[in-house]
Each structure stands twice: as structure tokens, then as C-alpha cells.
Structure 1
Amino acid sequence: MSDHVKPSGGIPVLFEDNHLLGITKPVNVPTQEDASGDPDLLTLLKQDLKERYNKPGNVYLGLVHRLDRPVGGAMIFAKTSKAASRLSETVRGRHFRKIYAAVVHGKLPAQQGTLKHTLLKDARTNTVTAVPKGTPGAKDAVLDYRVIGQTDRYSLVHIELHTGRSHQIRVQMKEAGCPLFGDQKYGAGVNKPGQQIALWSAIAAFPHPVTKEEITLRSLPPREFPWAEWPSSVYEEAFKG
């Protein structure tokens, strides 16, 4: 289930059946409608399903997880409300694997490890801060990381999320002293305006909500800077699914 099947209105399809639609999210497209008014992924995919299957009326497509606007990669949507409900339970029960590729500035304190922080979101500014444990409204954030490539300036990191907090990887990497390449919000001091954030949803894996078969969506980052600092074989080996 790892390779692009066909374009869905220009968006690559990774998996599709009667219950699910798995795609590669393009960078800089909001997952759902936001204040910008820019075309959003949910609306684009609904329109494509309506046209491809010649459906009258409204098309159902359920959002079960999100990617930040500047982030691209593997993403799953539910085509029925039953599938959406079951997938949401899978996410809540932490049976939904989310693995990312990231390029960060500098070198992490160890080649692999676990990062644990308590994060607090300010909805007014849409920013997230690491705060002391016990801070009202804050939530625990946990991820595992493994460095899979290095240059003099950057590290290529395999990241598996164990919690799904807003901006989690971006904030936790910053707290580790290694902000993401291109992250204007949490790495403004080391990044230049206009750079694309180097964070990519490489693998999304979960039991199918109806058949219970293990579904693995895989999407590798584009072959452009800074991703192209490492050969394709590094990604193929690290993100097998």
C-alpha cells in the first residue's frame, strides 16, 4: 500500500476502497477550511470524489487526523461515518502509528532517544510552548527519534509520535536545541523567510476500521533541498513501513 496509485484531482492517492481514502497531502495546503480562505484539502477531495463517482448532493469525507499546513505526506480520510468513528477510536487508543521524516539544525544530544515535554497551546496566537508539568490546560507530549543521516549543519531524523499534540514535533525539536529546517514559527533565528519546513508524514499505519487488515500508507519527501542531502536509499531503508 505504499506507492502512488493515481492522481485524485492532482493529489496522489496511496490507498482507496469503499471506506477509506489515503493520499499524499501537498505542502502549504490547509487540511480543512481556515481563516485564510485558501483551498483546503477536505474540500478539494470531496469535490474530486463527487466528480470521479458522479455523486449527487454532498459527499461525506471524515477528517480523523491533521497535518500542519506547511507539512506534506501520508494522510488518511474516512469515506463513511462508521469508518470515521472507528478510526477516531484507533487514534484515541494510540493504535494509529505516525512516523515522520524531519531535517533539523545541528546535532541531537544522542543518536536515538525519547523526548518528553508538557505542552500548552495558545489558541489566540496558534503557538505552543513547553511548560512545567501540572500547568493547567497543558498536555504531555512523547516521541521517539532516531538520527538516520547527518551533514555538517543538519540531521535527518526518523520520528515516531506517541501523542498527537499540536505542533508537537516542531516544539519538541526546538526544546532539544535542534529546530526544524524552514520552521518560521519555532526556529526564526536560524531559518530564512520563505524556506519550506522540512517535516514530512512518511508513514501512517492502522488497522482497517472494517476488515481489521493492517493498512500502511507510505510517502517519501520530495527530492529537493534539504531532503536531497541524503540519497533515496536512506529513506527507503528507514521508512519501509
Structure 2
Amino acid sequence: MNSEYTPDLDSEDDLFEHYRFEVPKGQAFLRIDKYLMSQIANSTRNKIQNAAENGDIYVNDVPVKSNYKVKPMDVIRILLSHPPFENHVLPENIPLDIVYEDDALLLINKPPGLVVHPGHGNYTGTLVNALAYHFENLPMNSSEHPGLVHRIDKDTSGLLVIAKTEAAMTHLAKQFEAKTSEREYVALVWGNVKEDEGTIEGNIARHVKDRMQMAVFADPEIGKPAITHYKVLERFGYVTLVSCVLETGRTHQIRVHMKHIGHTLFNDERYGGHLILKGTTFTKYKQFIDNCFKTLPRQALHAKTLGFVHPVTGEMMRFDTELPQDMQEVIEKWRNYSKSHTAEDEEE
């Protein structure tokens, strides 16, 4: 329950239980932040309130804010994205695609399939293990992960900024918190997106039935506010290539928001995009989709551009990457498919 900000951008982790309390029958109604201060050694109200703000405090499996009044028989749990025990990161000689590096920071183009940090069954072979091998004395973020300012999913490719000093970590984290960093993703989604561009707004929180998923909630008291701006780049009939610019950085934000408006990411297994959601019933079409899935065995999402103010020079820096080979190949397959089929065959 560290009070420092840690963006939870597209984290692939499950949650780990750090604390659990069952409120006794005789307990009077009391704000949960005050109650937890009396229960957790060395805790502060500020840390508890930050944990609540981040959606880490659950009562009867529902996230609550710090002004929630504890009632008798409530079950209070504090769930965080990292294990409750301290991990000893094993340095591993995993190659890194470094786009830029100086004394304060570095930019990495993460390949698909690389887990960002240890946890949830992945304690070796992660980006953090690679960083521990290639760099010494990286600063720890609030989750005790060296160098990490933000995260992206295992099967999402693209740009990550890594802090090399404590000052850079603090400066960069504040930019993500203040929403001044610039982040653009490119995604291939199911369906023909009607509008050329638009904005998706909706609070995001852990799915009530499937803990491995996030979901959009209409209730403003549930989850964290999230805003995604999208723009159509190219239409292929049954799928659409879109650019998504993040105003906030919530867990699985693009994946959840695009599904929320009816356009699940192509081959996003966790959210149902590994099924044929649009198209024909012809065998040849099914074979075409299967071929696409084999070419791109992950969700079609790439963190293409990243912009931020350099923590030392004050210069605005912007970085851009090419789409990875697997996404390029699938896009080309769809481009050829859409050209060879008439508009009458396509669904809106």
C-alpha cells in the first residue's frame, strides 16, 4: 500500500491478497480508512486512502472508497498486483530492443510474449529480469519493481519508458498521473467501426464474475475513470484498424473500452476476440481467420508512440515504432481479403 503513484496500464497480472479482516459483530460503524489504520501496523491514513483510490480495498468482494463505513461481519481484503512476499529478481541475459537511452532513462520496444514483471506464475523470463541483468541500481517503483514507470500486457507489443534514477522515476510517474504523457496504440478490432473517430468514457474495475477480466461500470462509485480517444485508420469490412490515444491508463483499458462499444480486439482471447465475431459462415472464411490467428497468436495491439517531458532537460520527447511483423502480416491479409470481396458481402 505505497502512497506513490503506479500507473496500472494494461497490467496482465491477477491480484494478490495482502490483508484480510473479518469485522466482528460488535464493531460500530466506522470509516474504513480509520478502521484499517487500527488494524495494520505502520500504516498511515494517506497510504490507506491511496489504496482505496486505486481500487485496492475490497469489502465483500466489491471495491470501496475510503469513506465507506465498516459494518459488522464485513469481509475486508486488500488486493494488489504484486505478491505479498518480496521477490528476489534473478538477473537474466534476455536481449532488449533499446530505442533510446541516456543517463536518466531508456525506451524499450517490448516484443509480444514478454511479461513485464514477475508475478502470477511468471517469476523468471520477464522484462524486469532482463533489466536486472543489463542495468545496476535501477530505482524501485511503489510495487518494488525496478525501473518501471508503466506497464503493458504480456501479449501487447510496443514502447515502455524505464527510469534509471530516483528523480526520473518521480518525474515520469507524475506525468503519467497528471495525464500529460502521450500514448498512442494501434489495434485491429472486430467489426466495421461506424464513426471515423470518437471518445469512449467509462469507469473500469475488476469484472464481478471473472477476476481475470476488467469491465466498464456505469456506477461512478465503482472503479476508476477511463477515457480513450479512437480514430479509424483503415477499414476492411469485418475488421477495422484503429488508433487509440489514452487519456488515462487503466488495466486493459483499450481492450475493455473497445469491447464495450462492440469492437473486441482481434484475437484477444481473454475478451472473446479469438472467436469469429463478424463475417460469413463459409468454410473458406473460417480457414482465412484461422490462418490470421496463427499468424498473430495474440491480441492485435501495439503501443506505437510515446511522448513525455524529459525529467532532466525539460525537452518534450516523442518516440514512434513500426508495427511488429505479426500485425503487419495480418493487416496485409485483411487488406487483400477486403479488396477481393464486394461491399455487398460485408457487414456494417
Coarse TM-score class (shorter-chain normalised): 0.7 to 0.9
Asked if residue 44 in structure 1 is aligned to residue 130 in structure 2, the reply is yes
Shift of 1:185: 0.9
Asked if residue 206 in structure 1 is aligned to residue 292 in structure 2, the reply is no
Structure with the bigger RCO (C-alpha within 8 Å, sep 6+) is 1
- Cα distance in 1 for residues equivalent to 2:183 and 2:235: 22
Q: Secondary structure at the match of 1:185?
A: helix
Asked if residue 215 in structure 1 is aligned to residue 320 in structure 2, the reply is no
Asked if residue 63 in structure 1 is aligned to residue 148 in structure 2, the reply is yes
Shift of 1:230: 7.6
C-alpha distance 230-202 of structure 1, shift in aligned 2 (>3 A)? farther
- Give me the identity figure in percent: 28
- 1:128-173 Cα shifts (integer Å, max 9, x gaps): 011113243x111111111011112211101100010100100111
Q: Max radius of gyration: which structure?
A: 2
List gaps (5 residues or longer) in structure 2: 1-92, 140-145, 278-289, 336-348
- Cα distance in 2 for residues equivalent to 1:229 and 1:140: 36
Q: Judge conservation of contact 2:94–2:125 (CA < 8 Å) in 1.
A: no
- For 1:26, the equivalent position in structure 2 comes to 111
Q: 1:134 aligns with which of 208, 211, 220?
A: 220
- Cα distance in 2 for residues equivalent to 1:14 and 1:215: 12
Q: Secondary structure at the match of 1:85?
A: helix
Q: Secondary structure at the match of 1:89?
A: helix
- Cα distance in 2 for residues equivalent to 1:125 and 1:65: 21
Q: Judge conservation of contact 1:198–1:226 (CA < 8 Å) in 2.
A: no
| Larger CA deviation: 191-200 vs 212-221 | 191-200
- For 1:226, the equivalent position in structure 2 comes to 330
| Paired residue type of 1:134 | P
Higher helix share: 2
Q: Judge conservation of contact 1:198–1:227 (CA < 8 Å) in 2.
A: no
- Cα distance in 2 for residues equivalent to 1:227 and 1:197: 13
Q: Judge conservation of contact 2:201–2:225 (CA < 8 Å) in 1.
A: yes
Shift of 1:23: 0.8
Q: Judge conservation of contact 2:226–2:249 (CA < 8 Å) in 1.
A: yes
Q: Secondary structure at the match of 2:185?
A: strand
| Larger CA deviation: 146-155 vs 79-88 | 146-155
- 1:148-203 Cα shifts (integer Å, max 9, x gaps): 11112211101100010100100111111111011001124437787311000000
Q: 1:162 aligns with which of 247, 251, 259?
A: 247
Higher strand share: 1
C-alpha distance 110-59 of structure 1, shift in aligned 2 (>3 A)? closer
- 1:69-124 Cα shifts (integer Å, max 9, x gaps): 11010110000111001100111111111100000011113011111112112598
Q: Secondary structure at the match of 1:29?
A: coil
List gaps (5 residues or longer) in structure 1: 1-7, 51-57, 232-241
- Cα distance in 2 for residues equivalent to 1:89 and 1:33: 24
Q: 1:70-219 alignment to 2 at 5 Å?
A: 70-122=155-207, 125-136=211-222, 138-188=223-273, 189-190=275-276, 195-219=297-321
Q: Judge conservation of contact 2:157–2:303 (CA < 8 Å) in 1.
A: yes
Report the TM-score, using the length of structure 2 for normalisation.
0.58
Aligned residues, how many? Answer: 216
Report the TM-score, using the length of structure 1 for normalisation.
0.82
- Cα distance in 2 for residues equivalent to 1:9 and 1:230: 33
Shift of 1:59: 4.6
